[in-house]
Amino acid sequence: MSVPILKYGKDDMSRVFGRTQLDNGEYISAVNAIIDDVRKRGDEALFEYAQKFDKQTINASNILVSEDEIKEAYAQVDKSLIESIRRAKASILDYHSRQRDKFANEFFPSGVNKKSTLGWIYRPLARVGLYVPGGKASYPSTVLMTALPAIAAGVGEVIVTTPNIKNPAILIACKECGIDKIYKVGGAQAIAAMAYGTASVPRVDLIAGPGNVFVTLAKKQVFGHVAIDMIAGPSEILVIADESADPRLLASDLLSQAEHDEQAASILVTTSQKIAEEVRSELDRQMGLLARKDIINKSLSTNGAIILAKDIDEAIKIADEVAPEHLEVCTKDAHDVAMRLSNAGAIFVGNFSPEPLGDYFAGPSHVLPTSGSARYSSVLSVDTFMKKISYINYAKEDLLSSADDIIAIAESEGFGAHANTIKIRKAEFGDKETK
């Protein structure tokens, strides 16, 4: 394996800038069929798909994970891991609880005589559903990183759906986060159940969490009937480095993303030819020592790149154009460079802020925008689980003083009923005001 070293503005950059958000149209018809079936037949379809796709027999009596199953999970997991989960929970919850403080209702006087009141009211969502992958790709960190922002937001009820629970640490993470309802369903059928509700699975207001292509497409298809966090693609990292960086650390950080799957992207943007060459050598050396080297090799061969930038300004330009999920800054004056960046899911500043710190422990959620969507979307956070309601309380004189303008605009749009409701009030109260 040899990751190409590319010169920005001279070499083909399609492997860097050609990533798409979701290009899996061949699966849409199958996903739609599953969604429609669950919507029509509810539990009956849900249980059939669990048997067909996940090879698990579930019904109304066992679809929920029981307390005995949770106790068994605690017995199977090393106590040191349980303590690590608890410490991670504390760090993540503290971070998001601080965010909750900014969601304060606010009201301010408005109008000619300041007798009207405008403002906004924040409310947490009533019920959200979290999708946690099962089987081989099952991560307790996904529970922590999706559930704790929702809990910090004050969501009334948080439920989890997950198929074929191979990793008992998932159940432990759910329990430690205070989630009591864990449903043994997965795939597009789980997304449909949470979007529309069945006899066993309640309808939710928002669905969050990662999944395979079927889960991702299902989230996209049900959006509008229910809110979703985002449409996530393969994982990615971009590292900005200058001559002061350590090639060994840079390579290890790039490899940490490449091991996710063959579609993951690992990109280094550096101002130093020496760093570029040394990192490429380190990638080969370190990859040979890792268990997932076959996946890493495919990932780097297909989506990996080392880009030579003429200076830090150009490196920042490249990073903002890519708008990566994870963006590391390993330069002199790393904080100053980070503050000049505009497009990233999360920015990791300095040599002691590697991306896995964000995956598991630091505090911010690891559910991040991918495939360039960081240009317009944000990390999953307390904001995801809150809604803002406008507050309008106009005084009579302020409405009357605005009446002619409202009527004129409404009539220009052809909405006579809109204009009429203002005209009635003007006729009823306007003359009295002038007497």
Could you tell me if 212 and 301 are in contact, meaning their C-beta atoms sit under 8 angstroms apart? Answer: no
- Alpha-carbon Rg for the chain, nearest whole angstrom, is 26
Give the dihedral sign, CA 41/158/325/230: positive
Catalytic residue among 326, 328, 355, 366: 326
- 366: phi then psi, degrees, rounded to nearest 5: -90, 5
236 is catalytic: no
Q: Is 366 a catalytic residue?
A: no
Three-class secondary structure of residue 191 per DSSP: helix
List, in sequence order, every residue forming a beta bridge with 121; answer none if it has no partner: 389
CA dihedral 93, 335, 332, 91 (to 10 degrees): -10
The enclosing H or E element of 391 equals strand 386-393
How far is residue 307's CA from residue 271's CA, in Å, rounded to a whole number?
8
Q: What is the largest CA-CA distance in the chain?
A: 90
Q: What is the spatial distance between Cα 212 and Cα 106, in angstroms, rounded to a whole number?
A: 41
Candidate list 176, 259, 282, 325, residue with the active-site label: 325
Nearest to 10 by CA among 241, 301, 318, 263: 318
Q: Are the C-beta atoms of residues 306 and 237 closer than 8 Å to each other?
A: no
Active-site residues: which are they?
325-326
